Structure 1
Amino acid sequence: MIKSQVINAASHNALASPNSHLISFAGSALLTQTEINASLLSALQKDAAHSVADCAYGCAPFGRVTLFPEDHWLDSITYKLHAALRPLLRKTACSDLIVDCSLWDTNKSAHRAMLSSLLIFLFNLDYQLSDLGLKTCAESAVRIKHISLYCSPQDQAAVEKIRRQAEASAIGMIAARRIADVPSDTCTPEFVVTEIEKVIAPYRTLRCEILEETQIERQGLGLLHAVGKGAANPPRLMVLRYEGRADGPFSAYVGKGITFDTGGLWLKGGDGMYTMKYDMCGAANVFGLLLAAAEMKLPVRLIGVLALAENMIGPEAMRPGDVVTSYAGLSVEINNTDAEGRLVLADAIAYASKLTLDDQQPQYIIDMATLTGAVVKALGYDLSGLWSQDAELSHKLIQAGLHTHDEVWSLPFDPRFAPQVESAIADVCNTPTNNAAISTSAAYFLSRFCPPEIPWAHLDISGTALWREGGRSVASGRPIPLLMQHLIEDLEK
């Protein structure tokens, strides 16, 4: 992981070097403490009033100096600072960053959110696709190894707290992203559980249990079995446990883990299938969340349920019109085999609801999934969709999203949508016949598998689970920052 520190005084000997890249703004007190050539500094500050001012030559004692306009630092909507930094840091000659955080006032929640978002972005630079080792002639490039965060003395404790949380979140995000980015010919359900077992082995607070195909069928997880039975690589159910304390309540997280989705007999088109190795990002991010909690040593108890399967075409593949009995006991008409995510989630939510610690049920269940393309049409790529039958849980998630810039948007959810999941032959069907309110119909379907006494929330991350740039997609690790913030805010209350 990239090393980092918080400082409140500029030191020429400690910070400035040809390997350091100073990131600041015009008028910063930090600039007056440096030995940058006065004429160059004046020119940079003048340019930075309205645009990005960047210099990589003659800016000793630093290797590079970049000043951003104040509106970049204070933009809480469009991420101007991230967008401007990304091309600068993609190919850098400096291994050390000095980031001037002094424009932000940590007494303001909006400023804390901007700092948190920036640090999570910077720490995530520790992982790149080339790290998978699939390019035979990968370019060697300078990587960022150290980040120094400059702030005023009165902000140092708050910046340090945000740094620790951002670093832990990034560790979880990178672990999740790394698994999600692996091509699906390697990243099978068995591969996912094996890789997670390797990663959690050094953590005394993390452990797991795995149900294999015969156990899945024997224990009545009929929907997960139906989705996975058509594939050569059989399904798995993984229960991941984080025990940050010996007793007390626990929370459950459920993740959709379709390691590749062809659509089954309801076959997708080629363009729609290209990114379907990422249909397991929900499960990967549940793993990443529990890893981040372990890294930060949060005093909580968490359980993650990962429903892992391939949705493939084969002699045993589920067919439109099949009726399958779920783990919850409800019969489900499968009228669309490309709506498989809600099937595996339904069994996993019901399974999570039956898990107990000290005879207690989960205090809430949150599921996350790349579930519907419709949520992308509704909310785009920046917001995750949120549905919940519990107003308090919904409010807390919305606030946590605002405090991390990993935002969610609550959509309508009430019994008016019940007809969307009615079936003439079974208790419910997995897709509406009228093709309306697709994302909400999916959420309403899932709600039928969570006992009403357990608060439940559904996050559709189809738009946010991937980072898209230049026509390419990679895993983003969202909504791990949101869920980490939610856990921490619950602890603080």
Structure 2
Amino acid sequence: MITWQLITTLSQAKPQSHLIACSSCSHLPDTALIAEMREQQTVADTRFSCTPFSRITLLPEALWHDALTGGLLAALRPLFVAPVSREVVLDVTNIHDTVLAQVLLFLFNQAHSLSDLQLKKTDETAVRLCHITALCRPEQQASLETFFRQQQAIAQGMVAARRLADLPSDRCTPQFMVEEAQKLCVAFPALHCEVLDERQIVAQGLGLLHAVGKGATCPPRLLAIHYNGVPDGPVRCYVGKGITFDTGGLWLKEGAGMYTMKYDMCGAANVLGLMLSVAELGLPVRIMGVLALAENAIGPDAMQPGTVATACNGTTVEINNTDAEGRLVLADAIAWASKRHPQASYIIDMATLTGAVVKALGYELSGLMTQDEPLRHALTQAGQKSGDEVWSLPLDARLKKQTDSAIADLCNTPTNNAAISASAAWLLHHFCPPTIPWAHLDISGTALWRENGRSVASGRPIPLLMEHLLGDSA
């Protein structure tokens, strides 16, 4: 875990730290080097004549207030590809709150890298960030203490989710995810795990989850994580898609389309990470997180196009596309959660559901679909505050024809190949009773961080959901 502290003068900083500051910071020493660096109109970076620091980086003031484009993060990322110090000193005397949240989450997330999976020979002597020192004004200390503690806890949940998601799918099976979640949750007395195996899934009528998972040698699981930060009161529910690998089933994907499909369980991993962050902060709420876990495989028992399966709420679904499996496992999990907690405050699901949302919104925004206006507003505001933003897509009865089926109550994909993301959400809304506010987050674009042609898990939308929870439980 990366540690942190607050200081009010640079003289309190540890020697040989990497100093990162705004070029206009008034706490910087009055030296010829700093004066020269301040004259730069872009990033000014040096490792020479920096004593007592090992490296000094000054960045333009505009970046410290750029909450929209992430300019400061873009400038910082190259600096941490190969850090020169285990300690960083960050100037937070004059920085936008949203930018600070983004930067802190980036720095705390340095606790995980692909090398930690120990699947590749790496340089054991490589420098890793271990400590963050924040330079602030005395009057900022009280509020920053709380803020840093919250961001550290959020990052811990993100790191747990990212470590699971980055694992190869031959290791990260449904049962493996259950066992890892149980190991992580045991550290928190307020967390309790409940598991349904393949037989219990059938016995409790989760026919959609069963249909998706029955073709794999690794059987499906439903994992419910219960958090009781208070003894009673309404329960907030989160549901995550956990397809540990997605071949597309008999609607087989092409090879290039399968390459990142180990990440099709990011929704479920992020529900787990969210629960761990909540428990770390000890929030005074009750929460249930539901992970719908399955592998969508091909084989003699794989679901076939045209199959009609029945969800645990009795709704029948014609499976006309086996590669639209995520909405099936989500639908069953949403219905199951609503039966467990019919008076739930809300149900929010998250999933790497459709490539269409990436075409619509790109890689920076998660798609938000809901018919509950207060929940839409609260999530949108939380996204803006955290920097983990959402954008609303329409969800109303005009989409009804997209899920019509001649043989079942619903079909899982529209035959006209239109409004794919919103049509998936329209299908899902049938599985949450109208008495419970519900929202769907399509995180296909945001669940991964893409750079230099490679993808790794990002941990989003945990910052968004934690910001929403912090505001909701205040």
1:208 CA drift (Å): 0.4
Provide Cα deviations, 1:209-265, integer angstroms capped at 9, x if missing partner. Answer: 100001101110000000000000000000001111111111000000000000000
Q: TM-score, normalised by structure 2?
A: 0.98
Report the secondary structure of 2:39's partner residue.
Answer: helix
* Alignment-mate amino acid for residue 36 of structure 2: A
- Judge conservation of contact 1:354–1:361 (CA < 8 Å) in 2: no
- Judge conservation of contact 1:130–1:138 (CA < 8 Å) in 2: no
Pairing 1:83–2:65 present: no
Report the secondary structure of 1:173's partner residue.
Answer: helix
Instruction: Give the structure 2 partner of residue 96 of structure 1.
Output: 87
- Paired residue for 1:253, among 238, 248, 259? 238
Instruction: Give the structure 2 partner of residue 472 of structure 1.
Output: 454
CA distance in 1, matches of 2:344, 2:84: 49
CA distance in 1, matches of 2:248, 2:62: 45
Report the secondary structure of 2:368's partner residue.
Answer: strand
Instruction: Give the structure 2 partner of residue 374 of structure 1.
Output: 356
Instruction: Give the structure 2 partner of residue 107 of structure 1.
Output: none
Instruction: Give the structure 2 partner of residue 27 of structure 1.
Output: 24
1:345 CA drift (Å): 0.2
Instruction: Give the structure 2 partner of residue 108 of structure 1.
Output: none
1:196 CA drift (Å): 0.8
- Paired residue for 2:134, among 140, 149, 156? 149
CA distance in 1, matches of 2:245, 2:23: 49
- Paired residue for 1:315, among 260, 285, 300? 300
Provide Cα deviations, 1:357-394, integer angstroms capped at 9, x if missing partner. Answer: xxx62110000000000000000000000001100001
Q: TM-score, normalised by structure 1?
A: 0.95
* Alignment-mate amino acid for residue 30 of structure 1: H
**Which stretch shifts more, 270-279 or 71-80?**
71-80
CA distance in 1, matches of 2:447, 2:143: 29
Instruction: Give the structure 2 partner of residue 460 of structure 1.
Output: 442
- Judge conservation of contact 2:115–2:122 (CA < 8 Å) in 1: no
Instruction: Give the structure 2 partner of residue 54 of structure 1.
Output: 45
Pairing 1:226–2:211 present: yes
Instruction: Give the structure 1 partner of residue 427 of structure 2.
Output: 445
Pairing 1:424–2:420 present: no
CA distance in 2, matches of 1:278, 1:468: 13
1:72 CA drift (Å): 1.5
1:491 CA drift (Å): 1.7
CA distance in 2, matches of 1:159, 1:241: 30
1:139 CA drift (Å): 5.3
CA distance in 1, matches of 2:36, 2:75: 19
Alignment of structure 1 residues 83-482 onto 2, 5 Å: 83-104=74-95, 111-138=96-123, 140-356=125-341, 361-482=343-464
1:91 CA drift (Å): 0.4
Instruction: Give the structure 2 partner of residue 486 of structure 1.
Output: 468
* Alignment-mate amino acid for residue 341 of structure 1: G
Pairing 1:43–2:25 present: no
Report the secondary structure of 1:29's partner residue.
Answer: coil
CA distance in 2, matches of 1:57, 1:195: 45
Pairing 1:15–2:8 present: no
1:350 CA drift (Å): 0.1
Unaligned ranges ≥5, structure 2? none
1:137 CA drift (Å): 4.0
- Judge conservation of contact 1:339–1:431 (CA < 8 Å) in 2: yes
* Alignment-mate amino acid for residue 316 of structure 1: D
Provide Cα deviations, 1:256-304, integer angstroms capped at 9, x if missing partner. Answer: 0000000000000111100000000000000000100001111111000
CA RMSD of aligned residues (A): 1.0
- Judge conservation of contact 2:24–2:61 (CA < 8 Å) in 1: no
CA distance in 2, matches of 1:200, 1:212: 19
CA distance in 1, matches of 2:49, 2:4: 26
Provide Cα deviations, 1:417-465, integer angstroms capped at 9, x if missing partner. Answer: 0110000000000000000000000000000000011000000000000
CA distance in 2, matches of 1:92, 1:353: 47
CA distance in 2, matches of 1:393, 1:255: 18
Provide Cα deviations, 1:154-184, integer angstroms capped at 9, x if missing partner. Answer: 2222222221111010000000000000000
Provide Cα deviations, 1:325-360, integer angstroms capped at 9, x if missing partner. Answer: 11110111000000000000000000000113xxx6
CA distance in 1, matches of 2:376, 2:130: 38
Report the secondary structure of 1:30's partner residue.
Answer: coil
1:138 CA drift (Å): 4.4
CA distance in 1, matches of 2:14, 2:220: 53
* Alignment-mate amino acid for residue 44 of structure 1: M
Alignment size in residue pairs = 474
**Which stretch shifts more, 54-63 or 257-266?**
54-63
Provide Cα deviations, 1:42-62, integer angstroms capped at 9, x if missing partner. Answer: 111111xx1100011111011
1:77 CA drift (Å): 1.6
1:136 CA drift (Å): 2.9
CA distance in 1, matches of 2:234, 2:99: 31
- Judge conservation of contact 2:266–2:351 (CA < 8 Å) in 1: yes
- Judge conservation of contact 2:7–2:13 (CA < 8 Å) in 1: no
- Judge conservation of contact 1:224–1:307 (CA < 8 Å) in 2: yes
CA distance in 2, matches of 1:249, 1:386: 23
CA distance in 1, matches of 2:294, 2:433: 24
* Alignment-mate amino acid for residue 270 of structure 2: N
CA distance in 2, matches of 1:363, 1:16: 47
* Alignment-mate amino acid for residue 432 of structure 1: P
CA distance in 2, matches of 1:167, 1:318: 43
- Judge conservation of contact 1:25–1:45 (CA < 8 Å) in 2: no
1:7 CA drift (Å): 2.0
